[in-house]
């Protein structure tokens, strides 16, 4: 009974972890630096496809038999490197563009990647690739575990992996933004021309941000491909990227804790909607000759999502957190000012 619930909620926990890591890397590009990219799903896809091809296509082509855990472990740094390389590829030409033009160009790059995947034989065209379950095989064959134990441990492993990755990215981002490099990056967001006049090397920082952000998105992609055990081009369509852009805007551009909160909200709204009973039906349209069209709330998630986006932009364009962070300083302050503690006034 416990394990049934664990399977259900554990999978959501794991996917939220991947979403958080991806949103954090996008926040570096879009939020902290203000380079408005609409192509992050492409970097995510490059990482996912690299990992998938390494364990699904390469051993088959080379005649190595089933992929081992070594190849699995190798796929993460390799996915990161390939995605970072793509980040360089996109970042360098996009240096000269600003604002909406940059958004459109990155959108173009993302779409080109997807169209390439649809047309490439090795990448499985629109059918995509199915990825062998290397972790399960390792638990069963090498560690000689029971089938149920292996299944549960696999989920725990992936939860730890995705949240570990998120934590790692979170800490790296926080430290980066507190350093001199971080200040330079923020200066670019606030005013590019002024930052350049103050001696910030625009070229260097913009390329750095694209390469870093893309590399981290590639890592998230590798986790995603290994856990889901398939990749198809449609997972990396524009709409998927837009979800993460909305998360970053909703959390507050440049606020890392805001991004985490927004990811959890956006992820769990459709999960909660899916619990709505079938008897609840909402009229959405009157079609001539057919009468009223009814839909259940769970089908309306994407409509709600787009309304949420428009509403948020109109009412609170700075997002939930603005560019502030959730800190625990207020707890300390309260403890210090409590009577009898002799806090500094």
The binder of another protein chosen from 66, 171, 272, 284 (CB under 8 A): 284
At how many degrees (to 10) do helices 147-178 and 2-26 cross?
30
Q: Which is nearer to another protein, 196 or 325 (CB)?
A: 196
- The site string for another protein over 151-190 (x = CB under 8 A, - otherwise) reads ----------------------------------------
Does position 204 interact with another protein (CB under 8 A)? The reply is no
Q: Which residue, 328, 308, 327, is CA-closest to 247?
A: 308
CA dist., res. 287 & res. 308, Å (int)? 26
Tokens linked to 213:
């952000």
The total of other beta-carbon atoms located within 10 Å of residue 42's CB is: 31
Does position 264 interact with another protein (CB under 8 A)? The reply is no
The binder of another protein chosen from 7, 12, 60, 93 (CB under 8 A): 93
Tokens linked to 122:
């090795």
Q: Which is nearer to another protein, 53 or 103 (CB)?
A: 103
CB-facing half-sphere around the CA of 104: CA atoms within 13 A = 5
Q: What is the nearest approach in angstroms of another protein to the Cβ of residue 199?
A: 17
The binder of another protein chosen from 288, 329, 340, 342 (CB under 8 A): 288
Does position 10 interact with another protein (CB under 8 A)? The reply is no
User: Helix, strand or coil for residue 295?
Assistant: strand
Q: Which is nearer to another protein, 132 or 252 (CB)?
A: 252
Using the contact rule CB under 8 A, the part of the chain among 16-24, 97-105, 154-162, 170-178 near another protein is 97-105
Q: Which residue, 204, 248, 229, 177, is CA-closest to 20?
A: 248
Look at the block and give the residue holding tokens 């989920």: 155
CA dist., res. 58 & res. 74, Å (int)? 13
Q: What is the nearest approach in angstroms of another protein to the Cβ of residue 121?
A: 11
How far, CA to CA in Å, does 37 sit from each of 215, 245, 294? 15, 8, 37
Using the contact rule CB under 8 A, the part of the chain among 78-86, 224-232, 254-262, 305-313 near another protein is 305-313
| β-sheet bridge partners, residue 230 | 130
Does position 193 interact with another protein (CB under 8 A)? The reply is yes
CA dist., res. 94 & res. 309, Å (int)? 26
CA dist., res. 158 & res. 135, Å (int)? 9
Q: What is the nearest approach in angstroms of another protein to the Cβ of residue 29?
A: 13
The total of other beta-carbon atoms located within 10 Å of residue 235's CB is: 19
| β-sheet bridge partners, residue 283 | 294
Q: Exposed e or buried b for every residue in 104-130, given b needs 16+ CB within 10 A?
A: ebbbebbbebbeebbeeeebbeeebbe
Does position 295 interact with another protein (CB under 8 A)? The reply is yes
- How many positions of this chain bind another protein (CB under 8 A)? 44
Q: What is the nearest approach in angstroms of another protein to the Cβ of residue 13?
A: 27
Using the contact rule CB under 8 A, the part of the chain among 49-57, 102-110, 219-227, 271-279 near another protein is 102-110
CA dist., res. 273 & res. 269, Å (int)? 6
The binder of another protein chosen from 4, 275, 287, 329 (CB under 8 A): 287
Q: Which is nearer to another protein, 36 or 227 (CB)?
A: 36
- The site string for another protein over 306-325 (x = CB under 8 A, - otherwise) reads xx-xx--xx--x--------
Q: Which is nearer to another protein, 134 or 262 (CB)?
A: 262
The dihedral through the CA atoms of 48, 228, 302, 245 has a sign that is: negative
Task: Tell me which residues touch another protein (CB under 8 A).
Answer: 36, 93, 96-101, 103-105, 108-109, 111-112, 115-116, 118-119, 193, 239, 242, 245-246, 249, 284-285, 287-289, 293, 295, 299-300, 302-303, 305-307, 309-310, 313-314, 317
């Amino acid at each position: 009974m416990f394990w049934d619930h664990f399977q259900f909620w554990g999978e959501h926990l794991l996917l939220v972890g991947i979403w958080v890591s991806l949103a954090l890397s996008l926040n570096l590009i879009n939020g902290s630096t203000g380079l408005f990219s609409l192509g992050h799903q492409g970097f995510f896809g490059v990482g996912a496809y690299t990992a998938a091809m390494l364990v699904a296509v390469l051993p088959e082509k080379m005649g190595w038999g089933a992929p081992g855990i070594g190849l699995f472990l190798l796929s993460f740094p390799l996915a990161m490197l390939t995605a970072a390389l793509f980040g360089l590829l996109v970042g360098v030409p996009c240096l000269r563009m600003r604002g909406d033009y940059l958004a459109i160009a990155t959108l173009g790059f993302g779409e080109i990647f997807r169209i390439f995947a649809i047309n490439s034989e090795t990448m499985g065209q629109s059918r995509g690739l199915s990825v062998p379950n290397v972790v399960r095989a390792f638990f069963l064959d090498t560690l000689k575990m029971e089938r149920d134990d292996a299944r549960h441990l696999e989920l725990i492993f992936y939860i730890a992996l995705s949240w570990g990755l998120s934590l790692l990215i979170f800490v790296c981002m926080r430290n980066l933004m507190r350093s001199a490099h971080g200040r330079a990056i923020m200066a670019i967001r606030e005013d590019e021309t002024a930052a350049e006049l103050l001696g910030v090397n625009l070229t260097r920082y913009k390329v750095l941000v694209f390469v870093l952000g893309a590399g981290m998105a590639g890592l998230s992609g590798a986790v995603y491909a290994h856990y889901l055990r398939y990749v198809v081009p449609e997972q990396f369509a524009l709409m998927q990227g837009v979800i993460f852009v909305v998360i970053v805007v909703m959390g507050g551009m440049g606020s890392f804790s805001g991004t985490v909160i927004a990811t959890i909200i956006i992820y769990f709204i459709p999960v909660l909607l899916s619990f709505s009973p079938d008897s609840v039906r909402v009229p959405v349209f009157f079609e001539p000759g057919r009468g009223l069209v009814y839909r259940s709330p769970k089908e309306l998630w994407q409509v709600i999502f787009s309304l949420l986006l428009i509403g948020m932009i109109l009412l609170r364009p700075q997002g939930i957190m603005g560019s502030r962070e959730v800190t625990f300083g207020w707890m300390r302050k309260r403890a210090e000012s409590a009577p009898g503690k002799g806090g500094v006034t």
